[in-house]
Amino acid sequence: MPVTSLLKVEFSPQGVACGSLEAIERAAAILTDGGLVAIPTETVYGLAGHALQEKAVSLIFQAKGRPSFNPLIVHVRDVSQAKGLVADWSASATKLTEAFWPGPLTIVLPKLPGLIPDRVTAGGQTVALRVPSHPVALQLLRAIDFPLAAPSANRSEALSPTTAEHVWKSLEGRVDLILDAGPTGQGIESTVVDLSGPPRILRPGPVSSAEIEAIIGPLEGNSNEGDETLRSPGMLARHYAPRAPLRVLDDPASIRQSDIKKKGVVWIAFDGEDSLPEVATIFLPKQPSEYRRSLYAALHQADEMGATLILVSRPPEGPDWEGVRDRLSRAEWRQ
Ligand code: TXA
Ligand code: MG
């Protein structure tokens, strides 16, 4: 078991501050040697390892307790590095990456045989790729000459981390280094779109299906259809959930009922909702991207508060709320 160190990294939109370059060099050295580093991305923190080293990839699965059937996203520094890993780069891939990379969109394409270990892709013939836009992740990817396999930096089945503290609590002793760049900006995991066949969303996220359709035309089916889990095994139930049971609430007034208003209930409400005496409440912004940014931190906080039941006011309809609605329904589904 490694001893975990944590290094703070200062950055601006232009890149990593001079005083923090040593942290990047340290991370690059660990990754080159096959070790694991938790890195900030604009979505959630990732547990990164050398994507072309079988041993490093095995360590990722081990550290997370992740089942081997669930493939990893490969993080690259640019389109050209991505193209070197796939068998077939489609016109849709060009359009979508021009529109959304670097950024919170993961594309799935047929993989080039013999380069990326089968462990990364869980034995499958496709690979998931993304260029993160976080200045720290980008600078690290530019400091090394190999791609990084990086699932979210949490133990399997737990909530994704949006701060270095979340990572520390979940993976201390299982990762060599955590780069702490403060809370992440997007707050939920990237949108995953499968381009290996007729384009379709495997996991909704910060980039909405409407935004994708505006670039490449209509998508196949709907991410909530039943056969989706066959193609994106990580989308099986038991993901994206806090420890406590979670319920999405249509009518906050129903909390007043005695069976709901019991000890240990934490209510995640919208700013401006009337607070209820004796109900621990976390208020989140009504603006969709701000809500998204704070949601996981609120769920982590509810768990820390010892919640026995988390109630979440139902978010509105509409494309801006797609990712949030997806994660809440998965968290609820588990119960
Ligand atoms: O925002 C994100 O995507 C974060 C940051 C760290 O980049 N990463 C992340 O990774 O959420 P993870 O491993 O927690 O989720 C990856 C998702 C899983 O649902 C997995 O099944 C799916 O992507 N996936 C990976 N490779 C795939 C493939 N070849 N085909 C279909 N789905 C794939
Ligand atoms: Mg995950």
Taking the centre of ligand 2 as the mean of its atom positions, its distance from the CA of residue 152, in whole angstroms, is 4
pLDDT score recorded for residue 320: 96
Range with lowest mean pLDDT among 1-15, 152-166, 195-209, 245-259: 245-259
Q: Name the residue at shortest CA distance from atom 18 of ligand 1.
A: 234
User: Where does the pLDDT of residue 254 fall: very low under 50, low under 70, confident under 90, or very high at 90 and above?
Assistant: confident
pLDDT in tens, 35-89: 999 999 999 999 999 999 999 999 999 999 999 999 999 999 999 999 999 999 9
Q: Any idea what the Cα angle at residue 259 is, between residues 258 and 263, rounded to 5°? A: 85
**What distance in Å separates the CA atoms of residue 110 and residue 195, rounded to the nearest whole number?**
8
Question: CB within 8 A of 13, min separation 6: which ones?
Answer: 135
**What distance in Å separates the CA atoms of residue 275 and residue 273, rounded to the nearest whole number?**
6
In ligand 1, the atom with minimum distance to the C-alpha of 47 is: 6
User: Where does the pLDDT of residue 263 fall: very low under 50, low under 70, confident under 90, or very high at 90 and above?
Assistant: confident
CB-count exposure of residue 123 (10 Å: 0-12, 13-18, 19+): exposed
* 102 cis-preceded (ω within 30 degrees of 0): yes
Question: CB within 8 A of 94, min separation 6: which ones?
Answer: none
pLDDT surpasses 80 at 208: yes
Provide residues with CB under 6 Å of ligand 1: 41, 43-44, 46, 70-73, 104, 106, 108, 121, 124, 126-128, 130, 132, 150-152, 189-190, 192, 202-203, 231-235
What does the buried/exposed string (b/e) look like for 176-205 if buried means 16 or more CB atoms within 10 Å of the residue's CB?
A: bbbbbbebbbbbbbbbbbbbbeebbbbbbb
Taking the centre of ligand 2 as the mean of its atom positions, its distance from the CA of residue 161, in whole angstroms, is 9
Question: CB within 8 A of 229, min separation 6: which ones?
Answer: 235, 236
Can you tell me whether residue 125 is helix, strand or coil? coil
> Which DSSP state fits 205?
-
The answer to whether 191 and 103 have CB atoms below 8 angstroms apart is no
Taking the centre of ligand 2 as the mean of its atom positions, its distance from the CA of residue 33, in whole angstroms, is 24
The residue among 295, 301, 309, 298 whose CA lies nearest residue 266 is: 309
pLDDT score recorded for residue 223: 46
Taking the centre of ligand 2 as the mean of its atom positions, its distance from the CA of residue 7, in whole angstroms, is 23
User: Relative to the alpha carbon of 71, which ligand is closest?
Assistant: 1
Per this entry, what is the length of the chain? 335
Out of 44, 126, 232, mutate this one to test ligand 1's pocket (max ligand atoms within 8 Å of CB): namely: 232
**What distance in Å separates the CA atoms of residue 134 and residue 261, rounded to the nearest whole number?**
41
Q: What's the mean per-residue pLDDT of the chain?
A: 92
Q: Name the residue at shortest CA distance from atom 3 of ligand 1.
A: 190
Give percent of the chain with pLDDT exceeding 70: 93
Question: CB within 8 A of 131, min separation 6: which ones?
Answer: 75, 76, 77, 78, 79, 82, 97, 101, 102, 103, 138, 141
- Tokens representing 180 are 């702490």
What are the two backbone dihedrals, phi and then psi, of residue 212, each rounded to the nearest 5 degrees?
-70, -45
